[in-house]
């Protein structure tokens, strides 16, 4: 999803344009194109067709900061990264192959490319710490 550079329209009306892009045949993002004003909220929907992919991940890419992980949806539980808990909500049900990214109070700082990805659930294991006692 692309938030293009801000456009100035009319008398001080500030808008951003959003374009969605699909990187694989199995994942789709909707809507493909939005024109929004600052202060409004937006929802970007994502769906896919692969039953083995039960986790939905969201990323934001800006020219200045590069790729930023926003959070993930596993089952019907959205887990945004701490820095974004006031700005975004992740909704839907990843196990049913659909979800959405809701962005509140849009600002020019939200101008970015937004990506939805789907992955298999994986577990992280902590290895025990062994110390030498002699």
Considering the domain boundaries, does residue 56 fall inside one?
Answer: yes
In a domain? residue 125: no
Answer yes or no: is 127 within a domain: no
pLDDT reported for residue 85: 95
pLDDT digits over 100-126, tens only?
A: 999 999 998 888 888 898 887 665 545
Q: Is 103 exposed, middle or buried (0-12, 13-18, 19+ CB in 10 A)?
A: buried
Can you give the CATH number for the domain in which 18 is found?
2.60.40.10
Mention every residue, 6+ apart, whose C-beta is less than 8 A from residue 100.
43, 44, 45, 46, 90, 91, 92
More confident residue, 25 or 32: 32
Q: Looking at the 3D structure of the chain, how many domains does it have? A: 1
Residue 128 lies in a domain: no
Q: Is residue 129 part of a domain?
A: no
* Domain span including residue 99: 2-119
- In this structure, is residue 59 part of a structural domain? yes
Cα–Cα distance measured from residue 105 to residue 7, given in angstroms and rounded to the nearest whole number: 17
- Poorest-confidence range of 26-30, 48-52, 55-59, 64-68? 26-30
Higher-confidence residue of 106 and 15: namely: 106
Mean pLDDT lowest among 15-24, 32-41, 113-122:
15-24
């Amino acid at each position: 999803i692309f938030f293009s550079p801000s456009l100035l329209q009319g008398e001080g009306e500030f808008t951003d344009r959003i374009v969605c892009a699909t990187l694989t045949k199995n994942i789709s993002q909707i809507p493909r194109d939005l024109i929004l004003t600052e202060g409004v909220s937006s929802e970007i929907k994502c769906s896919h067709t692969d039953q083995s992919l039960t986790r939905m991940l969201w990323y934001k890419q800006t020219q200045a900061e590069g790729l930023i992980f926003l959070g993930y949806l596993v089952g019907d539980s959205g887990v945004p990264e701490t820095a974004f808990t006031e700005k975004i909500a992740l909704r839907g049900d990843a196990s049913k192959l659909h979800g959405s990214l809701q962005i509140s109070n849009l600002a020019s700082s939200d101008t970015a490319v937004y990506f939805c990805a789907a992955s298999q659930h994986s577990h992280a294991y902590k290895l025990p710490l062994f110390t030498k006692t002699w």
